[in-house]
Amino acid sequence: MADRNDKKSSLLADLPTLALAIGVALVIRTFLFQSFYVPSDSMFPTMLIGDHVFVNKFLYGLRVPFSDTRLPGLREPRRGEVIVFQLARDGRGLYPGDFRRELPRDAFVKRLVGMPGDRVEVRDGQVILNGEPLAMEATGETFTDSVGRVFDVYIEVLGACSHHILDHPTHPGINMAEITIKPGRYLFLGDNRDNSHDGRKFGTVRLQELEGPAGLLYWSWDWNGGWLELLNPLTWWDNLVHRTRWGRVGRFENCFPSDGEPPGRSTRRS
């Protein structure tokens, strides 16, 4: 009986420490940094399915939970940044959060192309920003996705940020008539332009829905199975050895200087 009472006393003594640890973890996740997993191919070749990145949640200003209020941030979002944001969704589509407040939210990641006040059009796969087509340079290289589709790799110059985009040679592209972006809203596009459900379909997103820019890529593996399968040690070992993209861990190429040589012009995946 004494041993049982001692164990209970020890557990009760540890509860404040455990509660503090949980509280600190919740504060970090809510206000500072959050992990994001890339589930789709919309940001090929910049981000691959299975990439895990940390998102800086305080850079654009802390969001007061359960409200639309956002505290002043360290800086404004910048054109060309890869940003995680929230959209409302149902079984029929995606919507800006303020358009369908009654729906649940999901996190998405895309590249910020249009800023407040910009005029943006997409014609035959090319972005026209404030009346000027964005410069595009063919790299002469290709990118093959997991189902065997082959894309041409281009460099798109987006202000001070150059980055890779994909183009399917036989795909007609997803056009968008010119829009003028309202104050406080932003337009996001995927780098895999022919296979991205992005602002061309769901429109613009408010600052309040922006979680923050994608930062450190801390894990990446080519894994499409369920988490329950990882309970099998043999499955874990196989994924760790054969499916982990060790070369991507610890870095994230958001963009490269427009006047510099890009660090690796394509990422090939077989």
Give which of 137, 197, 188 is closest to 167, Cα–Cα.
137
Contact status, residue 125 vs residue 194, Cβ threshold 8 Å: yes
User: Is residue 48 packed enough to be buried (19+ CB in 10 Å), middle (13-18) or exposed (0-12)?
Assistant: buried
Contact status, residue 214 vs residue 83, Cβ threshold 8 Å: yes
Cα separation values, 267 from 90, 143, 153, 247, 260, Å: 33, 7, 9, 11, 18
Q: One-letter amino acid identity for 118?
A: D
Distance CA 126, CA 190 (A): 13
Which residue is it, tokens 């499955």?
235
DSSP-H helix ranges across the chain: 2-27, 199-202, 233-238
List, in sequence order, every residue forming a beta bridge with 213; answer none if it has no partner: 83
> Which residue out of 57, 110, 220, 266 is catalytically annotated?
110
Q: Confirm whether 258 is a catalytic residue.
A: no
Residues 6+ apart with CB under 8 A from 132: none
Q: Confirm whether 270 is a catalytic residue.
A: no
> Which residue out of 42, 196, 220, 266 is catalytically annotated?
42
Distance CA 252, CA 245 (A): 13
Any idea which residues carry the catalytic annotation?
42, 110
